[in-house]
Every structure is written in structure tokens, then in C-alpha cells.
Structure 1
Amino acid sequence: MKNSRKLLSVLLIMVMMSLILAACGKTETAKTKSPKQKYVLKFNHVLSDSEPFHKGFLNWGKRVKERTNGGLEIQVFHSAQLGVEEDIIEQIRQGANIGQNTDSARLGMYVPAIAVMNAPYFVDSIDEVAKLRELATVKAWQKELEDKHGIKILSFTWVQGLRHMVTNKPIKTPDDLKGLRIRTPGVPIWQESIRSIGASPVALPFGEVYIAMEQKAIDGADLVYRNVTGAKLFEVAKYMSETNHILLINFEVISKKFFDSLPPEYQQILVEECDKAGLEASREMEKEVEPLRKQLAEKGMTIVQDVDAAAFRKAGEGAYNVLKLTEVRDQLYKEMGKK
């Protein structure tokens, strides 16, 4: 009996040791298990780090990182540090984990009709831009960009504001632009928009505007107020003429392939926070126009406000006609209830 009890005790000890070892093994496995996959999006834009959009992109990245517990990180690169816009978009199409702040003019190189959103006097306010997101035609363009070209639009609630003429002579009518070489991106809608209102378009990257004006390679550029202060163009231009010819809608785009690789909850967070940060940055830029007017005046620029708006609007119709975008515009106006 005594030997039986000893044997039973030994067996119990062996069983307990086995359980302890098994538990330790599980704990060790849990500790050494690979962490949840992390994703990085490198986001490029051409603006300086002093502009509200740069701050907006940083806010977007911060919120995404917080909501994903570090699972998705957005690294923001200002002043085109990753390369020129057109090259970045091509990398996006190939599936790279890169994003770009762009506009409908460049996206129009892939889906031509979407370029209408960059045409003269297309919309007049941030509220009208917000309506565009819900239109069936716009949603169809977005799907085409994804399915045929691999470009995913995250948001276009980023509105830089109204563009004006930055020159060394006052601009009050389209006739005042005749013979002037005005910098613009090298895509059809930009070129025709500038040409329609009287100037000769010259394709140049934004970062080259200052030197080109200083060397008189161009006579001016069409820009929003913040671009002028950010790039210190008041040092090479005397006039800011408020032609209001384009409300610049910006698009935040990434690779559809990269977007699809993200967990569904990350996809939702990425889009939601991009929209939110975009509206905030857009409203901030809208509020700062008056202070920037005063700032540029103090820097020696003359702000020209007595511009013949009706004459410019009439001239701007030429861009729609040349690029056959009149019917496209009218369809969008119909869908959004705009006359």
C-alpha cells in the first residue's frame, strides 16, 4: 500500500510538471508571436512646410496613427521631397505605398471629364465642393480611376481657395493679360483655362515660379494667397489681382492596390480623417485671406480688387468649349441643383 501511495505521488508530480511546462511553453509562444502588421504611407505635396495644408496633413497623420494604435503611419513630405507630382502619380498607379496631393486637372489625364472640376468659375464655395462628393457622376469617375488606373481618391474636401493673378502689372480685364506668360501646370485644363482668360500659359513646377519670375522667364502666375506668402513671391511680383478664376479643389490620392491591402477598419479611418482634416484646413485658409491681404500690402504688393468679374467669367467659357466640357459641367450642375 505504501509503495502504491509513493507511485501515485510520483505520477501526480509528473503530471503537474507537464502542465507547468506546457503553460510556460504557451506563454513563451505568446511572447514571441509576431506583432500585428504595420503599414506606412509616404505622403508627398509640393507646398512649403509653412502652409496650412502641411499642418493639415500632419494632423491627418496624427489622428490616423492614434486611431489605429500605430498600425498605420503617414509620413508627410513637403516641397515635393519625394519627387514631382506626375512621377508620384505614376508610382501610385504601380502600387507603391505613396500618396500625393493633386488636383482634377492631373487626374483628368486618366479620366478626362473629371478635369472640369478645375475649370474657370466652376464652383464658388467649399459648401458646393462638399456637394460634389455625393453626385452619381463624380462617384462613377472615382470608380473608373480605381478600376482602370489604380488610383484611389481618399478625399477632395481640401480646398486651397480662389486663384488670382500674381504679376508685375495690374490685371482688371482679360485684355490686360494679353501677351503675358503665366505659369501653370502642363495639363490641358490648366493650359486652356489660362489661355481662355487672355494669357499665354507656361508649364512649370510650382517650386520654380520664384526663380522664373525673378529671371523674367515668365510674367506671372495664378495662385491662392497662401502660395504667394509661402513662396515669398511678394519679392518678385508687385500686384495680386483678384480674378477669382478658379476655386482650387485638391485631391488626396493613393494606390488602390495599397488601399486594398489595408484592414477594412484602417481604410475607413484613413478616409474619415482625411475628409475631416481637409475641411479644417480649407476653412482655416478661407479665414486667413483678409489677414494675408494686409500682410502682402505691408510687403509692398498692391491688391487689385476692382476686376471685371463678368468679363472674366465670359472669357472662361472658352476653356469648356475647347475641351468639350460644357455638357459635363451642365450635368453636374443639374445633379447638384446649381443653375
Structure 2
Amino acid sequence: MSKKSRVASLLLVLVLTLSLVACGSPSNQGTPEGDKSEDEAKQQEKIVWKFGYLANEQHIWHKTAQEFARLVDEKTDGRLEIKLYPNEQLGSEMDTLNMIRDGSADMTISGESMQNWAPKAALIATPYAFRDMDHMVKAIEGEIGKEISDQIIDKVGVTPIYYHLRSPRNLTSNKPIRNLADLKGFKMRVPNVPVFLEAWKAAGAQPQAMAFSEVFTALQQGVIDGQENPYDLILSGGLYEVQKYVNETEHVLGWIYVVVGNKQLNSLPDDIRAAVLEAAQEVQVYGEELFQTDTELCKKQLQEKGMEIITDVNKQEFIDAMVPAVMKCLNEEQKDLYERIMNMQ
């Protein structure tokens, strides 16, 4: 299936899902027959959405968000403005999600952190679940992805409208990490995701949850010895200034959603909501095109800035340690999804 066909199919599923959500939403009830003045005023009113996320201005998430904002402005004739707040200007990922839920922000970029409300979201980035990118895309755009997205809509109160593939997560450090023995006493940052904490504990490290905005200073001051992230965030976060090595553990293949509050989306006039979904469909393709060239470019730039890539990591040791820990950490519905993903052809 072509990229555009996949995205069109994904949009159709999203539209059907949103239709069901909207049917039960008081914000979509409309005004009584014969009283159109409120509707007409709503049609003319300019709406402004706040879109906050951790990536900086050089990151492909920001570049894609810029294109999304431009498309929405164009397709709505300026009636909906998307204001961008990169670099965690609105707060951390969790802060922004809570702001969306209370109505003081509208959009963010979020992934496995949403498991704090929607347990199935843990599978967005679970250690050693996916064999490769094709395997992951098949899951995202199939029944498994729909199950995860539906639970996010229901439990988190936000709707995924497009997603970003992520390059593999790798461990950074100031000494080479090739096997589990090298992790003894290694203090490291992980996102606030229980399965990450348990997996790295099982591997012998000393993980601690921390907001990404705190990582650079924590590394600089020696509070932690390392952290794990894809190449793009290692580069955009400037971690090459405080870390010498990228150890290719490739322990997680995952994706991340761009989400908007259910209330915010469902309160839009029908034509503006349709324009938002159409813009999301188009920017999905745009973001994927950026991603195709981004990973190798980021890796090359990190090497040019002095980081050394450790490629001979004993991944089997990491798999053998982490997978049993992951299974113990997951609840029954998460474990079912994990096993279905691993067994998916």
C-alpha cells in the first residue's frame, strides 16, 4: 500500500471514530431550530489553539507542526490559528497534557507517557516489541493501533490526529556501554514511564524519571551518567556537549502522536473540524518525508560534533534482561497487546 493510501485509510478510521465521539458530546448538540444567530457568530469567531511540545525549532516535529499550522490557517481562511510553543514553553509533556484536559492548552505531542491514563499507550514505546519500522507501521495503522488510539480518546481526553515515527532509542554515556556489566551503578534518566524504569533496573542500571528539559543540566552536574533517546532528540537537546558516546542499544522502536483535546476538537464548527483533519492527513505525509532523511543526518551531525557511535552492543543481553522485566510490569491488557505485536507477521 502506498504512503498516501495508508494515510487516507488512517484518516477514514479517525473520521469514523470522531463521529462516534462527537455524537455523545454536548458541545456538538447545536442550537435549537430557528435560532441560528449563535451558530452564525460561531462561524465568524476566530479560534486560537495553543500547541506545546518539547522539541526545539530545528526538530522535524517543530517543522511539521509549522506546516500543520500553515495548512490549517489556509484551509480555514484564518478562522483557526495554531500557536506553536516549542522547547516546553508551556511545560513538560505531562504538564501540557494536564493543561489540555483543563482547557488551558489545546494540542501537544505525546506517546507512552499517556499510559498514566490509558494503559494500552504503554505499547507505543515498549522495549524490544517491534522488529523493524515496517512491523511497527503495520501495528500503528491496523487494529492494534486503533485499540490504542481509542483508549487514548476515551481515557486521556485527547484525540490523535497524526503521528511521527521515531528512530530507535539509544543510550548515551561518557564511557562505552557494550554489555550489561558496563551498566553496573550507571545512573540514567528515563521518561516517566514505569516499564522503562523496570526494564533498565533489570538490565542493572539505576534509572530515574526526569523531564527532558532537566536532562542537560543533570548530565552537566553529574546528577546522572547518561540517558536514552533517539538520535534526533540527542542532537536537538545538545547532549553532545555533555556526553561522549551513543551506544546503539536500539532498545525501543516507537512512535508518538500529535493530539488535540476532545472538547476542543468537538467544539469546532463542522467545516473547521474537517479542515483540521484534512490538514492532519496532508502533514502526515510531509512528516514522513522529513523522517526518511533525518535519522542518518542527525547521526552524522552528532559524529561531526565529536560523539562516538558504539555499534557492537550485545543486544541479546539487553533483550534477555529486559523482556522478562517488561512482561512482569505489564497488566493483562498490556501483556495481550505486547504478545500480539511480537507475534504479528
Q: 1:161 aligns with which of 150, 157, 167?
A: 167
- 1:86-105 CA-to-partner distances (Å, cap 9, x unmatched) read 1221222234451111112x
Q: Which residue of 2 aligns with 1:322?
A: 328
Q: Which residue of 1 aligns with 2:36?
A: none
* Secondary structure of 1:161's aligned partner: strand
Change in 2 beyond 3 A, CA 1:304/1:126: same
**For structure 2, which runs of at least 5 residues remain unmatched after alignment?**
1-39
- 1:122-162 CA-to-partner distances (Å, cap 9, x unmatched) read 2244433432344334423433333344222222x212311
Counterpart Cα distance in 2 of 1:216 and 1:227: 20
- Counterpart AA for 1:115: A
* Secondary structure of 1:122's aligned partner: coil
- 1:41-97 CA-to-partner distances (Å, cap 9, x unmatched) read 210011111112111110111111111211222111100111122122122223445
* Secondary structure of 1:130's aligned partner: helix
Q: Which residue of 1 aligns with 2:99?
A: 91
Q: 2:49 aligns with which of 13, 16, 41?
A: 41
* Secondary structure of 2:116's aligned partner: coil
Deviates more, 1:171-180 or 1:192-201: 192-201
Counterpart Cα distance in 2 of 1:310 and 1:296: 26
Deviation at 1:202, TM superposition (A): 1.4
- Counterpart AA for 1:257: K
- Counterpart AA for 1:209: V
Matched, 1:77 2:85: yes
Q: Which residue of 2 aligns with 1:61?
A: 69
Q: Point out the structure with max Rg over C-alpha.
A: 1
TM-score norm. by structure 1 comes to 0.81
Counterpart Cα distance in 1 of 2:99 and 2:86: 17
* Secondary structure of 1:190's aligned partner: helix
Q: Which residue of 2 aligns with 1:152?
A: 159
Counterpart Cα distance in 2 of 1:192 and 1:279: 35
Deviation at 1:218, TM superposition (A): 0.2
- Counterpart AA for 2:182: D
- Counterpart AA for 1:331: R
Counterpart Cα distance in 2 of 1:256 and 1:96: 13
Q: Which residue of 2 aligns with 1:140?
A: 147
* Secondary structure of 1:69's aligned partner: coil
Q: Which residue of 1 aligns with 2:286?
A: 280
Matched, 1:331 2:340: yes
- Counterpart mapping for 1:212-231 below 5 A: 212-231=218-237
- Contact kept? 1:183, 1:220, Cα under 8 Å: yes
- Counterpart AA for 2:307: M
- Counterpart AA for 1:117: I
Counterpart Cα distance in 2 of 1:52 and 1:211: 24
Q: Which residue of 2 aligns with 1:207?
A: 213
Q: Which residue of 1 aligns with 2:58?
A: 50
Counterpart Cα distance in 2 of 1:181 and 1:279: 38
* Secondary structure of 1:117's aligned partner: helix
Q: Which residue of 1 aligns with 2:275?
A: 269
Matched, 1:102 2:110: yes
- Contact kept? 1:96, 1:255, Cα under 8 Å: no
- Counterpart AA for 1:52: I
- Counterpart AA for 2:125: N
Q: Percent identity?
A: 29
Matched, 1:186 2:186: no
- Contact kept? 1:94, 1:150, Cα under 8 Å: no
* Secondary structure of 2:306's aligned partner: coil
How many residue pairs align between the two structures?
302
Deviation at 1:245, TM superposition (A): 0.8
* Secondary structure of 1:303's aligned partner: strand
* Secondary structure of 1:47's aligned partner: coil
TM-score norm. by structure 2 comes to 0.80
- Contact kept? 2:120, 2:151, Cα under 8 Å: no
Q: Which residue of 1 aligns with 2:128?
A: 121
- Contact kept? 2:118, 2:155, Cα under 8 Å: no
Change in 2 beyond 3 A, CA 1:236/1:255: same
Change in 2 beyond 3 A, CA 1:275/1:202: farther
Counterpart Cα distance in 1 of 2:70 and 2:56: 19
Matched, 1:245 2:251: yes
